[in-house]
């Protein structure tokens, strides 16, 4: 069990940040470098059918032991870290027996219980943080470490009876491309679990419906001294557009099942401006209404100026996995029972985001998401309690034994 910590500390130091601007797949070669190391490790601990394909997906098999005719269960985690914050030169550190006081890191970064009260749930436990200059990468290298540690335990135990188990490690999840080339049929699992959740006990089988919107605004640049009735300032048009969307439907004002419009970027000048938005909602009808509203806003602005001043492109990214999970709710029941057997209280909630599992579910592989144990992903305030990682490994071991009965 202790190897999960050793593995995570080693993996966290690997630079695997994905790049949303890249045109390659995977988006960064540094992910391939890490994947090759995983291939060697998986072979060393005795897994079968270890393979890395041309897209960087690493897969492996644990042959059946006692339940040869049962369904095949899979476990999936992604190796990339978010481009939202630096993932280079990560220096993980263990804080032994956390005492409930603010955790002082470099660069003035403080994990203060006043701002991050959830850390008080782990007083007395050892926790892992970065040093304040980078993110930690528990999203999702904790999941990678937990799956591989569980696999090694299974291979070395004669007492754990299970069916065939498939493992997969994916690139580019953080930029929404984690399953673009994933071959579900070749993977060969009947159902799977992503180890990509947060705090201990998380069990998720609902997620946002998601779309991305790109908006281009064509202004008209005229000398300001002669601009009356001639100039069209593209940045001010962008400001108008932003103001026409409901302010109470921004991420900072929403929670639970409430969706949002999230302005990701705004760049421009008088002549041209570009905006990118994320559109999210758990309810599909509300999701469609949000896309319709944005189209109507663009249409109104174009009518006001009497031209196609604003161009809009909306692309759906993924959908709520709930409707794909509901017909096979036993996969959720397995996870819930596995947690209870491990002494973990299941915390069933909807993901305010998405996982590889959402797209895999729509591709024919039902794939709920379970906790890996971390908090405050994508920034320097990230931390993960060591006991949560140990419990995650135990949950995997319990699932494979429960899954042997189907």
The CB-based long-range contact list for 48-56 (8 Å cut-off, 24+ gap) reads 53/183, 55/25, 55/26, 55/171, 55/180, 55/181, 55/182, 56/25, 56/26, 56/31, 56/32, 56/170, 56/171
CA–CA separation, 193 vs 370, rounded Å?
Answer: 7
Q: How far out from the chain centre does Cα 272 lie?
A: 33
Whether residue 399 contacts residue 338, with contact meaning beta carbons closer than 8 Å, is answered with yes
Q: Which two tokens stand for residue 262?
A: 């999230």
Q: Which two tokens stand for residue 272?
A: 């041209």
CA–CA separation, 384 vs 190, rounded Å?
Answer: 31
> Which ranges constitute the DSSP H helices of 106-190?
138-155, 184-187
Catalytic position from the list 14, 80, 204, 281:
80
In Å, what is the CA distance from 365 to each residue of 64, 193, 406? Answer: 20, 10, 16
* Residue 406 three-state SS: coil
Helix (H) or strand (E) holding 317: strand 310-318
Identify whether 313 is a catalytic site residue. Answer: no
Q: Which of 388, 13, 400 is nearest to 197 (CA)?
A: 388
* Residue 278 three-state SS: strand
Q: Which residues pair with 316 in a beta bridge?
A: 211
Catalytic position from the list 139, 146, 152, 173:
173
Helix (H) or strand (E) holding 204: strand 202-204
DSSP assigned state of 71: P
Residue 322 CB coordination number (10 Å): 15
Q: Which residues contact 138 (CB under 8 A, 6 or more apart)?
A: 8, 12, 128, 372, 373, 374, 377, 382, 383, 384
Identify whether 80 is a catalytic site residue. Answer: yes
CA–CA separation, 190 vs 334, rounded Å?
Answer: 14
Which residues are catalytic, by number?
80, 173
């Amino acid at each position: 069990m202790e190897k999960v910590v050793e593995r995570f500390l080693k993996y966290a130091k690997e630079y695997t940040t994905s790049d949303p601007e890249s045109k390659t797949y995977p988006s960064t070669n540094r992910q391939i470098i890490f994947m090759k190391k995983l291939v060697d490790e998986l072979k060393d601990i005795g897994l079968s059918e270890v393979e890395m394909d041309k897209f960087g997906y690493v897969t492996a098999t644990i042959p059946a032991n006692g339940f040869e005719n049962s369904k095949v269960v899979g476990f999936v985690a992604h190796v990339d870290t978010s481009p939202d914050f630096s993932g280079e030169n990560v220096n993980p550190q263990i804080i032994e027996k956390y005492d409930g006081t603010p955790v002082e890191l470099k660069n003035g970064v403080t994990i203060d219980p006043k701002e991050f009260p959830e850390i008080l749930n782990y007083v007395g436990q050892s926790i892992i943080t970065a040093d304040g200059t980078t993110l930690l990468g528990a999203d999702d290298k904790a999941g990678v470490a937990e799956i591989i540690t569980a696999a090694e335990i299974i291979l070395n135990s004669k007492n754990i009876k299970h069916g065939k188990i498939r493992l997969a490690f994916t690139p580019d999840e953080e930029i929404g491309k984690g399953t673009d080339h994933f071959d579900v049929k070749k993977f060969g699992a009947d159902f799977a679990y992503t180890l990509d959740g947060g705090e201990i006990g998380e069990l998720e089988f609902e997620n946002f419906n998601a779309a991305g919107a790109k908006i281009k605004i064509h202004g008209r640049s005229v000398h300001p001294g002669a601009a009356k009735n001639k100039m069209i300032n593209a940045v001010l048009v962008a400001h108008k557009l932003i103001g026409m969307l409901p302010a109470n439907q921004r991420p900072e004002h929403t929670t639970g099942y409430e969706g949002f419009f999230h302005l990701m970027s705004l760049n421009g000048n008088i002549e041209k401006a570009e905006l990118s938005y994320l559109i999210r909602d758990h309810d599909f009808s509300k999701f469609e209404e949000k896309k319709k509203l944005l189209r109507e806003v663009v249409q109104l602005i174009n009518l006001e100026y009497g031209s196609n001043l604003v161009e809009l492109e909306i692309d759906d990214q993924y959908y709520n996995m709930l409707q794909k999970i509901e017909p096979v709710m036993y996969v959720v029941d397995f996870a819930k029972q596995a947690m209870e057997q491990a002494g973990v209280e299941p915390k069933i909630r909807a993901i305010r985001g998405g996982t590889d599992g959402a797209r895999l579910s729509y591709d024919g592989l039902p794939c709920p998401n379970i906790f890996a144990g971390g908090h405050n992903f994508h920034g320097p305030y990230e931390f993960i309690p060591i006991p949560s990682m140990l419990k995650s490994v135990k949950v995997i071991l319990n699932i494979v034994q429960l899954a042997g009965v189907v």
